[in-house]
Amino acid sequence: MPTLWGYSISAARSIDYDKNDQSFLRRLAHSCPSSKLCIGCGGCTAACSAGNLTEFNIRQLQMLVKRGETRETAEQLHKCMLCGKCLLVCPRGVDTRKMILSMKRFLREHDQ
């Protein structure tokens, strides 16, 4: 997507807040306000127990939510073991476990 100044934005990394389905994101911001504090540093992903064993990336998961990709989120989400390591390393105090639990709950309702 060429722009006026000659930079380009990769579609896979962009978050289009105008077009995305934001219901999930809004729900998450409501049930876990600290999720808004994330700066995407990746500390959680580096510590992650599941990430040690498979291609699971909790930081990316948050990205998927922001992009409104609910189905993909659901597929990734159940890899988390809820062990809480991410919670302890996060420099911003994001309550990652609560965030994941909220997502699980949301998806459960979404399914029904």
Residue 11 C-alpha from the chain's centroid? 17
Q: Whose CA is closest to 58, among 72, 38, 42, 74?
A: 42
User: Both tokens of residue 68?
Assistant: 């409104």
Site string for ligand SF4, 61-100 (x = CB under 6 A): -------------------xxxxxxx--xx-x-x-xx---
Per partner kind, with CB cut-offs from 5 to 8 A, the member of ligand SF4, other proteins, none near residue 25 is none
Q: Is 9 or 81 the residue whose CB approaches other proteins more closely?
A: 81
* Binding residues for other proteins (CB under 8 A): 34, 47, 49-50, 52-54, 56, 78-79, 81-85, 87-89, 93, 95, 97-98, 101, 104-105, 107-108
Decide if 62 contacts 35 (C-beta within 8 A).
yes
Neighbour count for residue 56 (Cβ, 10 Å): 19
Report the nearest approach of ligand SF4 to the CB of residue 89 (Å): 6
